[in-house]
Chain A
Amino acid sequence: MLRFWPIWVLLLGGLFYWGMQRPNPNELKSVLKGRPAPTFSLPLLEPYRAQYGTEMGVREGLNKPVVLNIWASWCLPCRTEAPLLERFHQQYKDQVLFLGVNVQDKESEALRFVQQYGLTFPSVYDERGRIGIEYGYYGVPETFIIDRNGIVLERHTGELSEAQLQQYLRQVLP
């Protein structure tokens, strides 16, 4: 058996290399991908109540693709991402619902964030981050692309780039 030591070394080396490959968090696959998005209804942040009502969420019969963005005011990438989401919301608001979920945050801080960046797409408030766990989130920001039938097509962890968002929207736009 010792005669084949180079093969053993190669095999063990290969196993070690394979074991050391840590998955890129941006490539973590969601178990929700291809499955119906969890439905929910949460209170909207105050500035959106006049236009959208007191509560909003993902529910059956929306008949519109949804870009669900989980964010918090204390999260730096959320700050760079917010103007991009606002711009795309302005561009596609008739075809796609951009919905923010503010998690594990103080409502007053969330309101300041919304005002600071002039966000017009609606955001709901989830202080405990319960909906994040329903969607199996790892942190903020995280974005889920849901098609018009309510099926999760993509999950994006971390900050979105313009090209990535454009590519995701291409999958859901008619």
Chain B
Amino acid sequence: MKQRARTLLHWLAGWLVLFCPQLVLAQPSPNTPPPDFSPRVFEIARELRCPVCQGESAAESNAGIALEMRRIIAELLAQGKSEAEIRQFFVERYGDWILYEPPARGLTLWVWLSPLLGLGLLGFGLWRYLARVGAQAKAPIADVSEEEIARLEAELHSLERRP
């Protein structure tokens, strides 16, 4: 009986080893561009908003306008335009809004500077706290009141007397 169960387990393990990788491979990998455009078209389109969509780039959306944007990118690439020139093509028609990564100028400069500002404020707060703790540690003994010294000495004596 045990032998039969062991054989069955081996058989199952064999199946899993043989077929699981194939099952994984059979899954369509996400973000794979359809065969009509080159992956570079989708790389550029990913940086551009789809004007009629909510939170989707021109690479992800199937809206007609996004499809046309991908066609335009493919045409401009075929004409030998650089990625920067293609991005500029859309900025000239839609403004900086069309870019997912806002340019580091004007009002959007805040988006880039705010993490640095936050880090600076955090560092300043930490420095102030550490300075205060350090100053307290280095405070001269004269700052301790006589009453506190007397109480400490009494506690020390009581400890020494214990067996």
Residues of A that sit less than 8 Å from B by CB: 1, 29, 31-32, 103-104, 128-130, 132-139
Within 8 A of A (CB), among B42-92: 51-52, 64-65, 68-69, 71-72, 92
The answer to whether A139 and B93 touch across the interface, beta carbons within 8 angstroms, is: no
The answer to whether B72 and A130 touch across the interface, beta carbons within 8 angstroms, is: yes
Whether, in the assembled complex, B94 has its beta carbon less than 8 Å from a beta carbon of chain A, the answer is yes
The answer to whether A139 and B71 touch across the interface, beta carbons within 8 angstroms, is: no
Told that A31-B95, A133-B69 touch, could you supply 15 new A-B pairs with CB distance under 8 A? Answer: A1-B125, A1-B128, A31-B92, A31-B94, A103-B64, A104-B64, A128-B68, A128-B71, A129-B64, A129-B65, A132-B68, A133-B68, A133-B72, A136-B94, A139-B52
| A interface secondary structure, majority | loop
The verdict on A132 contacting B65 (CB below 8 Å), with A1-B125, A137-B51, A139-B51 known, is: yes
Question: Which of B72, B92, B94 has the most chain A CB atoms inside 10 A of its CB?
Answer: B94
Rounded to whole angstroms, the CA-CA distance of A75 and B36 in the bound complex is 28
Q: Mark B85-129, 1 if CB is under 8 A from A, else 0.
A: 000000011110000000000000000000000000000010010
Q: Which residue of B lies closest to A138 (CB)?
A: B51
Total A-B residue pairs with C-beta atoms closer than 8 Å? 38
For A136, list chain B residues within 8 Å (CB): 93-95
The answer to whether A104 and B65 touch across the interface, beta carbons within 8 angstroms, is: yes
Rounded to whole angstroms, the CA-CA distance of A132 and B72 in the bound complex is 12
Contact-residue bracket for chain B? 10 to 19
Shortest C-beta distance, B161 to chain A (Å), equals: 45
For B64, list chain A residues within 8 Å (CB): 103-104, 129
For B52, list chain A residues within 8 Å (CB): 138-139
For B65, list chain A residues within 8 Å (CB): 104, 129, 132-133, 137, 139
Rounded to whole angstroms, the CA-CA distance of A31 and B92 in the bound complex is 7
Rounded to whole angstroms, the CA-CA distance of A136 and B69 in the bound complex is 11
Rounded to whole angstroms, the CA-CA distance of A87 and B69 in the bound complex is 34
Shortest C-beta distance, A22 to chain B (Å), equals: 11
Shortest C-beta distance, B58 to chain A (Å), equals: 11
Shortest C-beta distance, B139 to chain A (Å), equals: 22
Rounded to whole angstroms, the CA-CA distance of A32 and B65 in the bound complex is 19
Shortest C-beta distance, B156 to chain A (Å), equals: 37
For B95, list chain A residues within 8 Å (CB): 29, 31, 136
Rounded to whole angstroms, the CA-CA distance of A139 and B68 in the bound complex is 13
Q: Which residue of B lies closest to A23 (CB)?
A: B97
